[in-house]
């Protein structure tokens, strides 16, 4: 059953989706203690999560993957289609499990382990709400490397129509994002300010029609811009 709370203007609105009430309570306590975050709803299964996302228009849905009726993967897919402004943050028990990867494929903006420290949970929610850095860019890259052979083949990058719209600098930044680097790391490597990097990332997302940095990484892998077996340098 969904439980709704107050909505504060200008704050990050979160829906919690997990079939375990105790876990939802724990996440709610951590997030509600923050001055800029409101937990506006809860869901005990995937169907409730989708309905809550459509009705409440949250910034972030914290989504467990293993729930009754509709699981978190299908719920994520439906939220991306029916409530596209909401971003989904997958909750998983095991690092690099197939559920996390399936969630990213379904359109999630990142994933967290359920035993994440409170400060990392809060930081992840804020980051995903802002469409900025994924919770742990290097973890996202490692996940994609692990399951790279399961990514569907993409077009020849030289012929991809969207890539032609990127400037040379935007293409550089795209490759840095695909390597799992944060804005600060990209700024250092390309001798730019972090604000400039963030501007470039925003333009890349707009030109390629992507939601966030996770999709930039997937786009680069699918289109052969990044070697899945190569490790990003420091």
For the chain, domains (ranges, CATH) are 12-130 (3.40.50.2300), 154-222 (1.10.10.10)
* Residue of 204, 203, 184, 202 whose CA lies nearest to 194: 184
Residue 80 to residue 108: CA distance in whole angstroms: 8
pLDDT of res. 44: 95
Give the model's pLDDT for residue 157. 44
Q: Report pTM.
A: 0.71
Structure tokens at 179: 């390597």
Predicted local confidence at residue 181, as pLDDT: 82
From residue 37, alpha-carbon distances to 30, 32, 121, 124 in Å are: 10, 6, 12, 12
User: Phi and psi (nearest 5°) for 198?
Assistant: -60, -40
Residues 42 and 15 sit within 8 Å (Cβ to Cβ): yes
Q: Residue 14: what pLDDT?
A: 97
Nearest to 122 by CA among 188, 39, 64, 42: 39
Ordered alpha helix ranges (H), 97-212: 98-106, 118-130, 137-146, 168-178, 183-190, 194-208
Q: DSSP letter for 151, please.
A: S
Q: DSSP character for 158?
A: G
Cα–Cα distance measured from residue 53 to residue 82, given in angstroms and rounded to the nearest whole number: 8
pLDDT 10s digit of each residue in the chain, 234 long?
A: 544 444 445 799 999 999 999 999 999 999 999 999 999 999 999 999 999 999 999 999 999 988 888 999 999 999 999 998 999 998 887 665 677 777 877 888 888 888 889 998 998 899 888 876 454 555 556 666 665 555 555 444 444 678 889 999 999 999 998 877 888 889 999 999 999 999 999 999 999 988 777 788 778 877 878 665 554 444
Residue 139: the pLDDT is: 59
CB-CB neighbours of 138 under 10 Å: 15
The answer to whether 121 and 31 have CB atoms below 8 angstroms apart is: yes
Sign of CA dihedral 154, 152, 101, 85: positive
Who's near 44: CB < 8 A, 6+ residues apart? 1, 17, 18, 19, 21, 24, 67, 68
**Which pLDDT belongs to residue 93?**
76
């Amino acid at each position: 059953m969904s439980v709704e709370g107050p909505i504060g203007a200008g704050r990050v609105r979160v829906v919690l989706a997990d079939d375990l009430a105790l876990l939802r309570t724990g996440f709610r306590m951590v997030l509600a203690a923050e001055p800029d975050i409101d937990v506006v709803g809860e869901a005990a299964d995937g169907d409730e999560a989708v309905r809550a996302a459509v009705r409440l228009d949250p910034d972030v849905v914290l989504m467990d993957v293993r729930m009754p009726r509709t699981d978190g993967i299908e719920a994520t897919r439906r939220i991306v289609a029916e409530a596209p402004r909401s971003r989904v943050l997958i909750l998983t028990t095991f690092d690099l499990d197939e559920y996390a990867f399936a969630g990213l494929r379904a359109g999630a903006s990142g994933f967290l382990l359920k035993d994440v420290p409170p400060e990392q949970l809060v930081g992840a929610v804020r980051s995903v709400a802002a469409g900025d850095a994924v919770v742990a860019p290097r973890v996202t890259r490692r996940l994609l490397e692990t399951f790279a052979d399961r990514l569907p083949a993409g077009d020849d990058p030289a012929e991809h129509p969207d890539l032609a719209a990127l400037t040379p600098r935007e293409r550089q930044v795209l490759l840095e994002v695909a390597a799992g680097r944060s804005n600060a790391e990209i700024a250092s490597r390309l001798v730019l300010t972090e604000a400039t990097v963030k501007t470039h990332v925003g333009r890349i997302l707009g030109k390629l029609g992507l939601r966030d940095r996770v999709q930039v990484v997937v786009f680069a892998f699918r289109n052969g811009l990044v070697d899945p077996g190569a490790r990003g340098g420091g």
